[in-house]
Structure 1
Amino acid sequence: MSDRTSRRLINIASLLSVVAMIGLAIYWYRLGIFRSQATLNQYIDQRHVIGPVIFILIQIIQVVIPIIPGGISTGVGVILFGPINGFIYNYVGIVIGSFINFFLARRYGQNFILHMIPQKIFDKYTNQKRFRSQKAFDLFFALAIFLPVAPDDVLVMIAGLTKMTWAKFSAIIIFLKPFTIAAYSFALIYGGQWLLNLIR
């Protein structure tokens, strides 16, 4: 399968995932889940362990195969499970997915990455002068993971092509990723609430 074909299939899967999420939201709305926090909590409590497990698996998949926008799924986790549990499930899924991405990029190299992202994006992050030294890349990578302004999943795969050690990669992801997850989660939640209040 060519790089272009695989990316096209990912784009189609992404579109179908968004449609499915909209359909699920409509279904939940008709069930009355969004009418009150108590109703939402009752719906989640009925699913006990299976709900969090499925959500974590979805987060792992969306990191490795970008079929769902990460920011959206992160916000959904906070909405469904609350600020604390939602943050934990997001964190576990995204960290595991990042480890898988790093491993796959290191194992299969540039060909794997080009199945996931276009050549143009790959060149953008690999042809820059500041990445020509490992120390410079490590610093940039750590800042990018800490600040929610860069395509983390792309940089994780590119990190797999460098000489970054597993120990350093793990430390950066485990200790700096929570800040990005928290920023995305609460920005989406409180931003959405602000927008709803503005509309009302």
Structure 2
Amino acid sequence: MDKSKKLLISKILLTLLGTIIVILVLKYLPNLLQLTVSIDKFRNYILSMGKLGPTVFILFQILQTVIAPIPGEVIQIAGGYIYGDLLGSIYTIAGMLLGAIIAFYFARFLGGSFIGNLMKKKKFQWMIDMMDNKKISVILLFFFLVPGLPKDLLIYVAGLTLIKPLRFFGILLVGRLPWLVASVSVGSNIYQKDYTSTIIISVIAVLGFILGLIYKDKIINKFYKLGKSTDE
């Protein structure tokens, strides 16, 4: 099979997958959000699925990464609360990576005009400049590492750049791993009633998140100027 046919098949499959996800989310989003309000309720729902529980949990993480307005931290903490540190981390990371793959290739093959129109808004101008920055890999790693900075939309943005997929997913994994594991650990500690560890991890995470929010605009402006100076 030649390259053009493979590309066409990939586009068709991605379109079908995207359509199915959108339909399911629109239909079941209220119920999904209601489930994630209570960590105990979410745990009971996942466990009630029996052997399909891990698959359903991973699907929740995929939806959170791709389009659904489900708080990521809730799903990640629930991973540890339901499955413990090891399995919770594995399932959470698997869902995050699968969701990122869908978002990345959607933007690369199908969503160029959609994402481009979205980023025409003034508040996303810095992302447009960042796309052409020669230091895109370093910038992406930094944004994935720092709490409080926009992350999920950057996956779509990266799909519009020339960055190699394996390189991007490696950066994504390295940047997101510490906080994903920390969130899972919080859930595991809550279930085991190890509140000391939970408080320590939570305080560190909250401080990081607050600092990220406080300095978010300064960081974005710095990379915005860096993008301009690189082009000059």
Alignment RMSD (CA, Å): 3.7
Secondary structure of 2:162 counterpart: coil
Compared with structure 1, are the counterparts of its residues 132 and 60 closer, same or farther at alpha carbon in structure 2 (3 Å cutoff)? same
**Partner letter of residue 78 of structure 2?**
V
Matching residue within 91, 96, 99 for 1:97: 99
Alpha-carbon deviations, 1:18-50, whole Å to 9, x = none? 33433xx39849xxx8xxxxxx8xx94x75421
1:19 matches 2:30: no
**Partner letter of residue 61 of structure 1?**
L
Secondary structure of 1:49 counterpart: helix
1:83 matches 2:85: yes
Which residue in 2 is equivalent to 1:70?
72
Which residue in 1 is equivalent to 2:133?
133
Which residue in 2 is equivalent to 1:113?
115
Compared with structure 1, are the counterparts of its residues 151 and 26 closer, same or farther at alpha carbon in structure 2 (3 Å cutoff)? closer
Shift of 1:58: 1.1
Secondary structure of 2:163 counterpart: coil
Residues 148, 183 of structure 1: 8 Å contact kept: no
Alpha-carbon deviations, 1:87-106, whole Å to 9, x = none? 11100000111111110111
Which residue in 2 is equivalent to 1:166?
165
% identical equivalent positions? 25
TM-score (norm 2): 0.58
Residues 119, 125 of structure 2: 8 Å contact kept: no
Unaligned 5+ runs, structure 1: 1-9, 34-39, 196-200
Which residue in 2 is equivalent to 1:185?
184
TM-score (norm 1): 0.66
Equivalenced residue count is 169
Shift of 1:59: 0.8
Which residue in 1 is equivalent to 2:16?
none
Distance in 2 separating the partners of 1:172 and 1:110: 22
Distance in 1 separating the partners of 2:129 and 2:28: 29
**Partner letter of residue 18 of structure 1?**
L
Alpha-carbon deviations, 1:139-164, whole Å to 9, x = none? 11022223334222111111111110
Distance in 2 separating the partners of 1:27 and 1:175: 30
Residues 79, 91 of structure 2: 8 Å contact kept: yes
Residues 147, 179 of structure 1: 8 Å contact kept: no
Distance in 1 separating the partners of 2:175 and 2:128: 22
Which residue in 1 is equivalent to 2:10?
none
**Partner letter of residue 183 of structure 2?**
Y
Shift of 1:85: 1.2
Distance in 1 separating the partners of 2:179 and 2:154: 14
Shift of 1:165: 0.9
**Partner letter of residue 142 of structure 1?**
L
